[in-house]
């Protein structure tokens, strides 16, 4: 697993499963090469799976002088490119060595609002657990010495952001055509400020980012596990269309497909390669976008989710409302898929966009994705894809495992309950003609993890069975 690698998504509209090709999310600034201890320390206490960091961000291409800009022969003035919004960083997964992050950029629609996902602004990042980009472990910050020399300044100082004053380590570098500044909070290690100005031709590209707070995602399936089929080498394929309606020019539709391959799994999260192909429709060549992304249990954007958690959801249930972007995630459908399996659809929505992801509640896989992007004043885009190559499921686990402890004669029953919400264990003493529920095991709630029952010394011959629902 590569560390500190920025990876971008490759579909046109942001959906629960990565559906984006938008202007890139903010690039990380990896400090692990100059602070090598970050490669060996674990994540600081302030970083945990399911954490979301939010930043107010802006970018502008500034001409050398507005006073020298004159209208052309048609009376038109070419404006500079600019925009502002928010960047959100989700900690999808964490091990003692690495962290898997999802970075999403949002911009204010028509400069004033509402916030919409930036076209192309979702990216994946696998980095050192100790940090080096969006955080730096406080114990490493504490060892950095102050520097004041030509082109480099490092100092400890107070920095006020909003209504909060942070004690930070500020790192500022200057060259002939660029200036960069980073500030990290000394107590939490969070990146709290980033700014840069880079001269490019006659213009200067200026960016700023300010810390806007953190929150812990409270997801109904937290603490559960990904389906067993999520393993290295597993492949999925999606096929569908992308339709764009351009005002005054009509509507056109192009074929869209995605190949997905799991390249690494670490408990409740995984890394996968995604290759998206948008057909040229006979007019131009196909557009192929390749990316490496992360997904997991502690995240709202997913390739798959825990089966037990999906089964517990109810139509109309609110999963999350982000206080920064005001984007809502709700369960807008629960029922039977065409396959006969139970299914659940999530809807991520704002005022001018929405996306829906349907999950199979038997396999946990995302099987259908639909999205609508109406944030442009010139066009709307609609995307629809369906899972056409299902995950290769592992061999079924025995419904009931029975073992006997030879020295004591105790009988242990172990029943996997993946995909079920209630379990009953039964006993028969007449060869299976009549069955009686074991005390305490009649229609008992289960969370998807195996249940275990032990009988110290069963009297006589006994048969056992389990029923799930």
- DSSP letters for 309-348: HHHH--TT-EEEE-TTT--EEEEEEEEE-TTSSEEEEEEE
Where does the pLDDT of residue 385 fall: very low under 50, low under 70, confident under 90, or very high at 90 and above?
very high
Among 200, 216, 232, where does a domain finish? 216
Among 216, 239, 273, where does a domain finish? 216
Angle at 466 between CA 460 and CA 468, to 5 degrees: 165
The strand pair at 203-216 and 235-246 is best described as unpaired
- Which one-letter DSSP state was computed for residue 75? S
3-state secondary structure of 228: coil
Report the domain count for the chain. Answer: 2
What rounded mean pLDDT belongs to the chain? 84
**Cα separation of 83 and 108, whole Å?**
8
Contact 246/198 with Cβ under 8 angstroms?
Answer: no
In a domain, 70, yes or no: yes
In a domain, 374, yes or no: no
For the residues 428-442, what does the mean pLDDT come to? 85
In a domain, 414, yes or no: yes
Where does the pLDDT of residue 235 fall: very low under 50, low under 70, confident under 90, or very high at 90 and above?
very high
pLDDT tens readout for residues 254-300: 999 999 999 999 889 999 999 999 998 777 799 998 888 899 999 98
Domain interval for residue 405? 401-468
Where does the pLDDT of residue 9 fall: very low under 50, low under 70, confident under 90, or very high at 90 and above?
very low
In a domain, 232, yes or no: no
In a domain, 233, yes or no: no
In a domain, 206, yes or no: yes
pLDDT tens readout for residues 314-355: 999 999 999 999 999 999 999 999 999 999 999 998 877 889
**Cα separation of 111 and 115, whole Å?**
9
pLDDT tens readout for residues 236-257: 999 999 988 887 777 888 999 9
In a domain, 18, yes or no: yes
In a domain, 437, yes or no: yes
* Residue 335, token pair as written in the block: 């029922």
Contact 225/364 with Cβ under 8 angstroms?
Answer: no
The helix (H) or strand (E) run that includes residue 141 is: helix 138-141
Where does the pLDDT of residue 449 fall: very low under 50, low under 70, confident under 90, or very high at 90 and above?
confident
* Portion of the chain with pLDDT greater than 70, in percent: 87
Q: Identify the pLDDT of residue 65.
A: 56
51 burial (CB, 10 Å; 0-12 / 13-18 / 19+) is: buried
* Residue 75, token pair as written in the block: 């009376």
Among 159, 194, 216, where does a domain finish? 216
Of residues 286 and 400, the one with the higher pLDDT is: 286
CA distances from 243 to 251, 258, 373 (A): 7, 16, 11
Contact 136/144 with Cβ under 8 angstroms?
Answer: no
Q: Could you tell me the pTM of the whole model?
A: 0.78
Contact 402/427 with Cβ under 8 angstroms?
Answer: no
Where does the pLDDT of residue 25 fall: very low under 50, low under 70, confident under 90, or very high at 90 and above?
very low
Q: Identify the pLDDT of residue 397.
A: 62
């Amino acid at each position: 697993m590569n560390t500190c690698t920025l990876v971008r998504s490759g579909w046109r509209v942001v959906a629960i499963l990565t559906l984006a090709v938008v202007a890139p999310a903010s690039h990380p600034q990896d400090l692990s090469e100059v602070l090598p201890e970050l490669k060996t320390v674990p994540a600081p206490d302030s970083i945990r799976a399911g954490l979301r960091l939010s930043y107010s961000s802006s970018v502008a291409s500034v001409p050398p002088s507005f006073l020298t800009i004159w209208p052309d022969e048609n009376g038109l003035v070419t404006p500079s490119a600019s925009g502002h919004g928010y960047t959100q960083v989700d900690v999808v997964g964490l091990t003692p060595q690495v962290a898997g992050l999802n970075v999403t950029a949002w911009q204010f629609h028509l400069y004033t609002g509402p916030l919409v996902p930036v076209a192309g602004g979702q990216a994946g990042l696998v980095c050192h657990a100790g940090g080096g980009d969006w955080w730096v472990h406080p114990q490493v910050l504490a060892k950095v010495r102050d520097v004041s020399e030509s082109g480099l300044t490092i100092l400890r100082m107070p920095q006020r952001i909003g209504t909060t004053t942070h004690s930070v380590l500020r790192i500022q570098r200057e060259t002939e055509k660029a200036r960069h500044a980073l500030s990290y909070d000394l107590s939490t290690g969070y990146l709290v400020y980033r700014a840069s100005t880079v001269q490019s031709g006659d213009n200067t590209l200026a960016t700023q980012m300010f810390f806007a707070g953190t929150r812990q995602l409270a997801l109904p399936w937290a603490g559960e596990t990904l389906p067993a089929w999520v393993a290295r080498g597993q492949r999925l394929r999606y096929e569908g269309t992308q339709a764009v309606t351009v005002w005054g020019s009509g509507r056109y539709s192009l074929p869209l497909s995605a190949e997905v391959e799991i390249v690494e799994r670490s408990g409740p999260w995984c890394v996968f390669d995604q290759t998206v192909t948008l057909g040229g429709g006979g007019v131009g060549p196909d557009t192929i976008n390749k990316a490496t992304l992360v997904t997991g249990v502690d995240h709202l954007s997913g390739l798959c989710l825990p089966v037990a958690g999906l089964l517990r959801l109810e139509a109309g249930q609110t999963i999350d409302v982000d206080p920064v972007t005001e984007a809502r995630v709700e369960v807008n459908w629960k029922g039977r898929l065409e396959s006969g399996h139970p299914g659940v659809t999530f809807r991520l929505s704002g005022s001018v966009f929405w996306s829906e992801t349907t999950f199979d509640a038997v396999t946990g896989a995302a099987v259908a994705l639909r999205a609508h992007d109406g944030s442009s004043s010139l066009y709307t885009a609609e995307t629809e894809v369906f899972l056409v190559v299902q995950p290769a499921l592992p061999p079924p686990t025995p419904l009931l495992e029975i073992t006997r402890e030879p020295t004591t004669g105790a009988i242990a029953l172990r029943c996997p309950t993946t995909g079920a919400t209630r379990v009953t264990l039964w006993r028969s003493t007449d060869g299976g003609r009549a069955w009686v529920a074991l005390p305490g095991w009649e229609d008992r709630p289960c969370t998807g993890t195996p249940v275990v029952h032990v009988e110290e010394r069963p009297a006589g011959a006994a048969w056992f069975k389990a029923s799930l629902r």
